[in-house]
Amino acid sequence: MAQTSVYETVMVQFSRAADLMGLDPEIRKILSSTTNEIVVNFPVVMDSGCVQMFTGYRVQHNNVLGPYKGGLRFHPAVNIDEVRALAAWMTWKTAIAGIPYGGAKGGIQMRPWDYSPAELERITRRFTFALGSNIGPEYDIPAPDVNTNAQIMAWILDTYLQMMPPLERNRCVHVVTGKPVESGGSVGRDKATGQGLVYVLEAWAKDYDFRLDGATYMIQGFGNVGSWSARLLKPHGAVLVAVEDHSGALVNPNGIDPDALAAYVAMHGRAQGFEGGTPVDHETFLRTQADFFIPAALENQITAETAPLLNVKLMVEGANGPTDVDGDRILQEKGILILPDVLCNAGGVIVSYFEWLQNKRSEFWDLAEVDGRLLKQILSAYRRVRDAVQRYNTDWRTGAYIVALTRLQTVYRERGIFP
């Protein structure tokens, strides 16, 4: 079966909101395309001494609200269509979050697990070198995404700084976010996406009388977003009954302990083999009866084939684009409410913005300050989306897009198009 184009999914979602709100047709033309698409092919010396060629991407979707911002992904499925889509989602997300950034995304098409740590370092540094001045602290700021982490960001930082004249180096530390705390990162960035998701879910649960205490849920993907969401839901009394990662799925109606599973995954790199649940196949996992589902792995997981299998009341999208257009329609027909990715996973980029601000001001905020500001920022985003949902009598994804497009439209109208 042909894989759905993720960029087409974005454009369908965009068109639905643009039609409903009556987006200015001229601005619609601008937002329907990306601004810059950088593709670099670069050589890296492997441990064996042989040279291997890699293809890396950086798509800059829009920067009318501020510097381009978005993660870098190392995965075999990375291609120009996927990166375009992920970059567009960043434009909407930063607009919804109310932070002064545009949208971008990038990555390398590769199987990161096939390389040694030394090779990964050389691949990362060579990619950074190949991108050159296409990234920069006031221009385009990468961050972690699937299979990239704080260590990868530290290598990007170091390589970028080496390419700067010595006098410039110390004022360029904000060229990437999601760095290790010792290298200029922010406390709270690691858990920020999961934390933001939990803040949104808490706010929604309060507004719509949904009891998190005792609610059952399932998670797909137990990396940064999935594991932090689960660990932060534990104090709310929510019960994790099913989990799936790249190695397989586990169920336990009595609850899987997120902290124990996170410790296991940190040690073994996969959920498979964890004794706190029974292994099941993909279809059984999807059919699990639960109150809500957090997809936190990759895009195109909830489709015409898989959406009919779900037995949940609510989807809280942690991943970007987990639901394709057919999947979305089927979930709506089944009465399953979707809290969309562009709102639920905005915590990561919000705390990236805080890291960037701290670097610019040479400050260090403590965790209480970071969490407090994140809560305030994401709650106001949540309220803007909730109000648009009510005002336009629409679904939450379309409501979220309307919030983003309204802000972008306002700025384009104020600034005009030059020359």
| Catalytic machinery residues | 105
- The correct pick among 38, 110, 296, 331 for binding ligand NAD (CB under 6 A) is 296
345 binds ligand NAD (CB under 6 A): yes
- The correct pick among 67, 185, 348, 399 for binding ligand NAD (CB under 6 A) is 348
Instruction: Dump strand ranges (E) for 14-114.
Output: 36-45, 51-62, 68-75, 103-109
Nearer to ligand NAD, 21 or 338 (CB): 338
Dihedral over Cα of 301, 302, 304, 309: its sign: positive
Nearer to ligand NAD, 240 or 298 (CB): 298
225 binds ligand NAD (CB under 6 A): yes
Dist CA 17 CA 138 (whole Å): 30
| Alpha helices in 140-191, H assignment, sequence order | 150-162
- Report the nearest approach of ligand NAD to the CB of residue 145 (Å): 5
- Contacting ligand NAD within 143-162 (CB under 6 A): 144-147
Q: Which stretch binds ligand NAD (CB under 6 A): 241-249, 250-258, 307-315, 325-333?
A: 241-249
Beta bridge partners of residue 302, listed in sequence order: 323
- Contacting ligand NAD within 166-195 (CB under 6 A): 193
- Report the nearest approach of ligand NAD to the CB of residue 236 (Å): 20
Tokens read off for 278: 């029974």
φ/ψ of 390, rounded to 5, equals: -70, -45
Whether residue 158 contacts residue 193, with contact meaning beta carbons closer than 8 Å, is answered with no
Q: Which stretch binds ligand NAD (CB under 6 A): 163-171, 220-228, 327-335, 397-405?
A: 220-228
224 binds ligand NAD (CB under 6 A): yes
- Report the nearest approach of ligand NAD to the CB of residue 218 (Å): 12
The SS3 call for residue 164 is coil
Site string for ligand NAD, 107-146 (x = CB under 6 A): -------------------------------------xxx
The residue whose two tokens read 């994790």 is 240
- The correct pick among 121, 202, 245, 395 for binding ligand NAD (CB under 6 A) is 245
324 binds ligand NAD (CB under 6 A): no
The SS3 call for residue 272 is coil
63 binds ligand NAD (CB under 6 A): no
344 binds ligand NAD (CB under 6 A): no
13 binds ligand NAD (CB under 6 A): no
Beta strand 140-144 with 239-245 is: unpaired
Whether residue 31 contacts residue 408, with contact meaning beta carbons closer than 8 Å, is answered with yes
Nearest 10 degrees: Cα torsion 270, 117, 300, 65 = 130
Tokens read off for 336: 């399953």
- Report the nearest approach of ligand NAD to the CB of residue 117 (Å): 16
Omega of the bond leading into 235 within 30 degrees of 0 (cis): no
User: Binding residues for ligand NAD, how many (CB under 6 A)?
Assistant: 23
Whether residue 132 contacts residue 347, with contact meaning beta carbons closer than 8 Å, is answered with no
- Report the nearest approach of ligand NAD to the CB of residue 213 (Å): 26
Q: Which stretch binds ligand NAD (CB under 6 A): 31-39, 44-52, 291-299, 327-335?
A: 291-299
Nearer to ligand NAD, 23 or 385 (CB): 385
φ/ψ of 40, rounded to 5, equals: -125, 135
Whether residue 358 contacts residue 365, with contact meaning beta carbons closer than 8 Å, is answered with yes
- Report the nearest approach of ligand NAD to the CB of residue 45 (Å): 26
Instruction: Dump strand ranges (E) for 327-419.
Output: 337-339
Q: Which stretch binds ligand NAD (CB under 6 A): 16-24, 59-67, 304-312, 318-326?
A: 318-326
Nearer to ligand NAD, 185 or 226 (CB): 226
Dist CA 159 CA 63 (whole Å): 24
Buried b or exposed e, range 100-139, using 16+ CB within 10 angstroms: ebbbbbbbbbbebeebeeebbbbbbbbbbebbeebbbbee
318 binds ligand NAD (CB under 6 A): yes
Dihedral over Cα of 172, 174, 180, 185: its sign: positive
What does the binding site for ligand NAD look like in residue numbers (CB under 6 A)? 144-147, 193, 220-226, 244-246, 296-298, 318-320, 345, 348
